[in-house]
Structure 1
Amino acid sequence: MNLILRPVAAEFAKILSTRMWWILALVLFGYIALLAGGLSALFGGVESGAISPDSMNSGGGAGLSTLGSLPPLIYSFAASVGYVFPVLLGALATTGEFRHQTLTPTFLATPRRDRVLGAKTIALFVVGAVLGLVGLAASVGVGALVFNGFGIDPLLADGETWALIGRTVLAMALWAVIGVGLGVLVPSQVASIVIVLAFTQFIEPLLRFASTFTEVTADIGKFLPGAASDALVGASFFTLASPGGSVLEPWQGGLVLLAYGLLATGFGYLISWKRDVT
């Protein structure tokens, strides 16, 4: 048992001994709180009548009737927007080993490289779940307060809301695993950061939008990692952009995300993790 726990404890020590994890957590909280607070105030104001819906429609806004239940959509921001943070953390925690050459003493202490990578994956899975809780503290905490202010039920007594919260934590944990896999597959820290930001902020949103044009591409687009994550969580503003699009079941979305993480980690192990280090 110690052969498993000691490497995992060492990986936690590496992560917690740096400022990277809590800086990302703070930025995540502020970012999600700003989005959740702003949009819940906007849509909550329209829903309650405090804001005239005509002012939105004159600006090209869609009717709120198409949005469905507002609270789950706001709460889902923790994952649908915040998922980039656990990916970055997983990638940085792995590429930092190559950049600062800490892999050498790590492999000397634990010669089984597969055990080291497994321990890092487990540690980042847990830390990714913690980031999920941070994102939810922002989206649910701020969103529920704003909805209460407008007299809208935040649905915190609804079991499905808490199921969504649990699935969000799982999604964020799986994104951290994907980040580990990317960091192993692309050991360059700069390159991995560029890939994460370019793919999550530009490439995949464009691919998801383009996939809605035909039924065939929609069936392919639902297997993109962001679409799988939204399916796992069960709510997202992005899925509303294509109401006729095909969506995976939550359990299927979770398996797709897990597959991305395992494939990236497996290929990375074969390509770079087993190489000689100096």
Structure 2
Amino acid sequence: MFLRSVSAEFAKIFTTRLWWILVIVLFCYIGLLAGGLAALFAGIQTGVISPDAVNTGGGPTDFGSLPPLIYSFASSVGYVFPVLLGALATTGEFRHQTLTPTFLATPRRGLVLGAKTATLILIGAGFGVVALAASVGIGGGVLSAFGVDALLLDSQTWLLIARTLLAMGLWAAIGVGLGVLVPNQVASIVIVLAFTQFVEPLLRLAASFLEVTAKIGNFLPGAASDALVGASVFTMASPAGTPPLDWWQGGLVLLGYALVATVIGYVVSWKKDVT
């Protein structure tokens, strides 16, 4: 029964235009960022671009190992897309009342929610593949064009890629949890965009100036995701210099956010009458 529910959830996603529209925007967005910043950072680091032209002051600047930084754009920036998909896939059930026939066919609501979460985790990982195709394919190509080793044969690069796929899957699960917790579709979208694009970046910046607050900031979802992946442009300059969580700790924090949101949402909205 669980596999049939998973199959039904895949059908719900792939019979709409939403998923491929998000995929196209994701690829273009990450490709533009990764390619543009790879050219900027590699150009400055190798001296091809004059540091004075971009106000860095002084000679060639060392940004550290550029490939992980560029490749991590897939998750550090692209994570909003699987969150949105997870939230929309869930809130759409409430908005269009498709939960009614779903629950009639499968009365075990916990099983339905579990199948939806498992489905979105897999689709979120698929979004990760698309994002990595942009960040690694375009970003790595630009780095190579500037004479910077793209490190595609390095085992650490492939570990970063694997952890990126995991992070994107977990973000999709967080989106499902948020959609269950906040069934109103408009409110859910506003929360996702406001928190990911404004609130959390500001909180991370504010927390980074003191060692004590920086440690607390490590447990914000975006910071935990960056720790899981192992690299991020947001951790390039932390005034407090506080080390991030270990990758497995970051993964557990992300999983915790998904579980808490889903469990609370299941209790307060998923179990209620939807007719």
TM-score, normalization by structure 2 = 0.97
Supply the distance in 2 between the matched residues of 1:204 and 1:239 (Cα, whole angstroms): 14
Instruction: Please tell me whether residue 132 in structure 1 is matched to residue 134 in structure 2.
Output: no
Q: Is the 8 A contact 1:211 1:217 kept in 2?
A: yes
Against the structure 1 CA distance between its residues 235 and 63, is the aligned structure 2 distance closer, same or farther, given a 3 Å change threshold?
A: farther
Partner AA of 1:123 in structure 2: T
Please point out which of 46, 49, 53 is paired with 1:48. Answer: 46
Instruction: Please tell me whether residue 247 in structure 1 is matched to residue 244 in structure 2.
Output: yes
Instruction: Please tell me whether residue 100 in structure 1 is matched to residue 96 in structure 2.
Output: yes
Instruction: Please tell me whether residue 221 in structure 1 is matched to residue 217 in structure 2.
Output: yes
Instruction: Please tell me whether residue 190 in structure 1 is matched to residue 190 in structure 2.
Output: no
How far apart are 1:56 and its partner, in Å? 2.3
- 1:101-180 equivalences under 5 Å are 101-180=97-176
How far apart are 1:49 and its partner, in Å? 2.2
DSSP 3-state at the match of 1:247 = coil
How far apart are 1:63 and its partner, in Å? 6.6
Supply the distance in 2 between the matched residues of 1:162 and 1:62 (Cα, whole angstroms): 32
In structure 2, the residue matched to 1:275 is 272
- 1:12-27 equivalences under 5 Å are 12-27=10-25
Against the structure 1 CA distance between its residues 61 and 32, is the aligned structure 2 distance closer, same or farther, given a 3 Å change threshold?
A: farther
- 1:50-69 equivalences under 5 Å are 50-57=48-55, 64-65=61-62, 67-69=63-65
**RMSD value over aligned CA atoms?**
1.4
Please point out which of 6, 21, 45 is paired with 1:8. Answer: 6
Q: Is the 8 A contact 1:57 1:63 kept in 2?
A: no
Per-residue deviation, residues 139-177 of structure 1 (Å, max 9, x unmatched): 000011111111111000100000000000100000000
5+ residue gaps, structure 2, are none
Instruction: Please tell me whether residue 232 in structure 1 is matched to residue 228 in structure 2.
Output: yes
How far apart are 1:47 and its partner, in Å? 2.2
How far apart are 1:245 and its partner, in Å? 2.1
Per-residue deviation, residues 58-105 of structure 1 (Å, max 9, x unmatched): 5x799732x210011000000000000000000000000000000000
Q: Is the 8 A contact 1:121 1:180 kept in 2?
A: yes
How far apart are 1:4 and its partner, in Å? 1.3
Q: Is the 8 A contact 2:69 2:233 kept in 1?
A: yes
Against the structure 1 CA distance between its residues 24 and 261, is the aligned structure 2 distance closer, same or farther, given a 3 Å change threshold?
A: same
How far apart are 1:215 and its partner, in Å? 1.9
Against the structure 1 CA distance between its residues 18 and 61, is the aligned structure 2 distance closer, same or farther, given a 3 Å change threshold?
A: farther
Against the structure 1 CA distance between its residues 273 and 19, is the aligned structure 2 distance closer, same or farther, given a 3 Å change threshold?
A: same
5+ residue gaps, structure 1, are none
In structure 1, the residue matched to 2:32 is 34
DSSP 3-state at the match of 1:111 = coil
Larger CA deviation: 37-46 vs 84-93? 37-46
How far apart are 1:134 and its partner, in Å? 0.4
Using the aligned pairs only, state the percent identity.
72
Partner AA of 1:268 in structure 2: G
DSSP 3-state at the match of 1:241 = coil
Supply the distance in 2 between the matched residues of 1:247 and 1:64 (Cα, whole angstroms): 23
Larger CA deviation: 125-134 vs 37-46? 37-46
Instruction: Please tell me whether residue 263 in structure 1 is matched to residue 260 in structure 2.
Output: yes
Q: Is the 8 A contact 1:75 1:136 kept in 2?
A: yes
